[in-house]
C-alpha cells in the first residue's frame, strides 16, 4: 500500500476531468473475481493510524472489504463485476448519524425559534398525536433516508414511533440503522403510556432481532422528564432481556437539569447511575450540561455520547463540553437530531459547527481539530453506537459502508489537506456515490434504491394536508 500523511496531499485537483465509472462495466484485471472495486484519488481509511492511500482502491466481496491498496496493485490482483472509478474522488467511510428522528422531516419548519419545552409541549407533541400514523412515518422516513444517502450518511440511530415501519423503509433503502422503539409515559401516536410502549417495544425487538444484519432494533426511552425512575428501570430491564442497547436524551437543557434536581434531588446522569441504567449499552444524545464528575461517570460506563450542535444551538440548549469529554475518554459521536429542530440531516454541517463551537467556547483554535471531528462522524461515532468492530473505518474484514466524495467543485480547488477540506469545505452535495454493505445506493448522484419522484409527491401531498389542518386549528383558536 502507498500510505501518506494527509498533511502532504497537495494540489491534486487542479486539472483534468472526473471519471465516472459505471458499476455495470467490468474492471480490467485477470485475478480473483469480486463483486465491486471502488477507486479514489485518496482513500481516507480512518483506521487507528490515520492511514491515507494515494491513488487507491478498495476490493469488496459479499459486502465485506476484502483488500485495500494502490489501484495498480488491486487491478493486477482482481477482476470485478462492477467498478466505481476514482478520478477526483475521495473514498472514506460512510458517515454515522448517532441521533435522529427521521420521520420528522415532515415537520421541518413547522415550529421554529422556540425553547425546547415550549417547542415540545405546545407544538411537537400535539402535532405528533394529531398527524403521526404509519403512513406519515413511512413517507417521512423515506424522505430522511433519501436526504441522508445523498449526503453520505450510511448509518443512523433513530428514535420515533411505529418502528416496524421505520425498519421496513431502512430495509428497502439499503441503509444501516439502529431503530428505537420509543418509550414515553404519555399518549403517543403508537402507545397509550410507558407500559404500553415497553410491551409494544418487546414485540418490535422480537420481530426484527436477527432478521436483517443492517437493522438493529433497540429501545428508546425518551427522557427522565417523560418517564419516572421505575419506568426507566423497566425499560433497561427489557433491553437487558433482549441484549440490545438503549438510546435516550440526556442532560440536554437547563429545564431538564432543574426538573431532575426538583424531582430526584440529583442530576439526570447521577439518577441514571444510581438506578443502574448504565449497566447496559447506552447511547446518550446531547449531554450538554455534564459536570466533571458526571463526565467521569460517562467514561467509566462506556456511554456513547452523541453531540448535536445545530439542534443545541437552535433551541438554545447550550454548548456541550465535547473537548472535555474526549479528553476524559468518553466515547463520542455526532448527530443531526430531527429535521424539526435542525432543520436538515447534513452531517457535514454538524462536523463544521462542532469544531467551530469548541474553538470559540474554549477560545482555543486547537480545540476539536479536523481529524478528531471527522472521527466522531465515522470511526468514533461507530464505536459510540456499538458498531465499531463492524463499520466506521475502511479496514479488511469490516462491512463495506463507504462513500466517494467529489473534489471537483470550485471550493475544493486547490486542495492542500484532504482531511481539512472534508471537515471545513465539503457539503452534502459533494457526495457522489454511496455504498452500504457492498451495495451501491447512489451512483454519481443518482439514487438507486429510493423512488425520489414518488417520495416527493407523497411528502408534498401529506404536508399540504398538515398545513391545512394547522391553519384550520389556528383559525378556531
- The three cell numbers of residue 64 are 465485506
C-alpha 450/C-alpha 4 separation (Å) is: 37
Q: What is the pLDDT of residue 3?
A: 37
pLDDT tens, position by position, 385-405: 999 999 999 999 999 999 999
**Which stretches of the chain score pLDDT less than 70?**
1-30, 474-477
Asked if the structure places residue 462 within a domain, the reply is: no
Same domain, residue pair 102 and 195 = yes
C-alpha 28/C-alpha 34 separation (Å) is: 12
Q: What is the pLDDT of residue 26?
A: 42
Same domain, residue pair 263 and 289 = yes
C-alpha 22/C-alpha 36 separation (Å) is: 11
Asked if the structure places residue 207 within a domain, the reply is: yes
Same domain, residue pair 424 and 291 = no
C-alpha 357/C-alpha 365 separation (Å) is: 10
Please, is 364 exposed, middle or buried when counting C-beta atoms within 10 Å of its C-beta (0-12, 13-18, 19+)? exposed
Q: Which of 384, 413, 433 is the last residue of a domain?
A: 384
Same domain, residue pair 15 and 133 = no
φ and ψ at residue 205, rounded to 5 degrees: -60, -45
Asked if the structure places residue 465 within a domain, the reply is: no
> Measured in Å, how far apart are the chain's first and last C-alpha atoms?
68
Same domain, residue pair 346 and 401 = no
What are the distances in angstroms from CA 265 to CA 12, 18, 115, 231, 261?
A: 58, 61, 24, 18, 4
Per the structure, the count of domains in the chain is 2
Question: Which CATH number goes with the domain that contains 229?
Answer: 3.20.20.140
Task: Write out the residue range of the structural domain in which residue 357 sits.
Answer: 95-384
Q: Other CB atoms closer than 10 Å to residue 233's CB: what's the count? A: 14
Asked if the structure places residue 64 within a domain, the reply is: yes
Asked if the structure places residue 452 within a domain, the reply is: no
Q: Identify the helix (H) or strand (E) that includes residue 341.
A: none
Q: Which of 384, 406, 424 is the last residue of a domain?
A: 384
Asked if the structure places residue 229 within a domain, the reply is: yes
Q: What is the pLDDT of residue 140?
A: 97
What 8-state DSSP symbol labels residue 413? S
Same domain, residue pair 424 and 326 = no
Asked if the structure places residue 461 within a domain, the reply is: no
Same domain, residue pair 153 and 291 = yes
Find all residues with CB under 8 Å of 343, minimum gap 6, and list them. Answer: 108, 109, 112, 314
* Dihedral over Cα of 412, 93, 150, 438: its sign: positive
Question: Which CATH number goes with the domain that contains 51?
Answer: 2.30.40.10
Cβ distance 184 to 206 under 8 Å? no
Same domain, residue pair 223 and 355 = yes
Asked if the structure places residue 76 within a domain, the reply is: yes
DSSP string, 257-309: HHHHHHHHSS-HHHHHHHTTGGGS-EEEEE--S--HHHHHHHHHTT-EEEE-H
Same domain, residue pair 278 and 194 = yes
Cβ distance 164 to 212 under 8 Å? no
Same domain, residue pair 30 and 156 = no
Same domain, residue pair 110 and 89 = no
pLDDT tens, position by position, 357-376: 999 999 999 999 999 999 99
Same domain, residue pair 399 and 435 = yes
Amino acid at each position: 500500500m502507498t500510505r501518506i500523511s494527509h498533511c502532504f496531499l497537495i494540489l491534486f485537483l487542479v486539472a483534468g476531468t472526473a471519471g465516472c465509472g459505471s458499476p455495470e462495466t467490468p474492471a480490467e484485471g485477470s485475478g480473483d473475481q469480486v463483486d465491486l472495486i471502488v477507486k479514489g484519488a485518496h482513500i481516507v481509511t480512518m483506521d487507528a493510524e490515520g492511514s491515507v492511500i494515494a491513488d487507491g482502491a478498495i476490493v469488496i466481496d459479499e459486502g465485506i472489504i476484502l483488500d485495500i491498496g494502490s489501484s495498480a496493485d488491486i487491478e493486477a490482483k482482481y477482476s470485478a463485476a462492477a467498478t466505481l472509478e476514482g478520478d477526483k474522488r475521495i473514498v472514506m467511510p460512510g458517515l454515522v448519524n448517532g441521533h435522529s428522528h427521521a420521520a420528522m422531516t415532515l415537520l421541518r419548519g413547522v415550529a421554529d425559534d422556540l425553547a425546547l419545552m415550549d417547542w415540545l409541549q405546545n407544538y411537537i407533541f400535539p402535532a405528533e398525536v394529531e398527524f403521526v400514523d404509519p403512513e406519515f412515518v413511512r413517507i417521512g422516513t423515506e424522505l430522511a433516508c433519501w436526504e441522508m444517502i445523498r449526503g453520505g450518511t450510511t448509518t443512523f440511530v433513530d428514535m420515533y414511533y411505529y418502528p416496524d415501519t421505520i425498519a421496513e423503509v431502512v430495509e428497502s433503502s439499503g441503509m444501516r440503522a439502529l431503530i428505537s422503539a420509543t418509550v414515553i409515559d404519555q399518549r403517543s401516536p403508537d402507545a397509550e403510556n410507558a407500559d404500553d410502549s415497553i410491551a409494544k417495544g418487546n414485540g418490535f425487538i422480537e420481530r426484527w432481532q436477527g432478521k436483517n444484519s443492517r437493522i438493529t432494533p433497540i429501545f428508546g426511552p425518551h427522557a427522565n422528564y417523560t418517564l419516572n425512575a421505575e419506568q426507566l428501570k423497566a425499560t433497561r430491564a427489557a433491553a437487558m432481556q433482549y441484549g440490545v442497547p438503549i438510546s435516550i436524551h440526556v442532560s440536554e437543557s437547563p429545564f431538564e437539569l432543574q426538573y431532575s434536581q426538583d424531582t430526584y434531588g440529583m442530576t439526570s446522569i447521577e439518577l441514571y447511575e444510581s438506578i443502574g441504567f448504565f449497566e447496559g449499552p447506552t447511547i446518550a444524545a446531547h449531554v450538554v450540561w455534564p459536570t466533571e464528575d458526571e463526565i467521569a461517570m460517562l467514561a467509566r460506563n462506556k456511554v456513547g455520547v452523541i453531540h448535536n450542535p445545530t439542534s443545541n444551538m437552535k433551541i438554545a440548549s447550550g454548548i456541550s463540553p465535547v473537548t472535555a469529554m474526549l479528553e476524559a475518554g468518553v466515547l463520542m459521536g455526532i448527530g443531526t437530531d430531527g429535521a424539526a429542530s435542525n432543520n436538515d440531516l447534513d452531517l457535514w454541517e454538524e462536523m463544521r459547527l462542532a469544531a467551530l463551537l469548541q474553538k470559540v467556547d474554549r477560545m482555543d483554535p486547537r480545540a476539536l481539530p479536523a481529524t478528531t471531528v471527522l472521527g466522531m462522524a465515522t470511526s468514533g461515532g461507530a464505536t459510540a453506537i456499538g458498531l465499531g468492530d463492524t463499520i466506521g473505518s475502511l479496514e479488511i474484514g469490516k462491512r463495506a459502508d463507504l462513500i466517494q466524495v467529489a473534489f471537483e467543485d470550485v471550493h475544493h480547488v486547490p486542495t492542500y489537506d484532504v482531511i481539512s477540506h472534508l471537515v471545513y469545505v465539503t457539503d452534502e452535495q459533494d457526495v457522489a456515490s454511496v455504498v452500504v454493505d457492498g451495495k451501491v445506493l447512489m451512483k454519481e448522484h443518482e439514487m438507486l434504491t429510493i423512488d425520489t419522484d414518488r417520495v416527493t409527491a407523497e411528502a408534498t401531498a401529506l404536508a399540504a394536508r398538515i398545513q391545512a389542518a394547522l391553519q384550520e386549528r389556528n383559525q378556531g383558536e
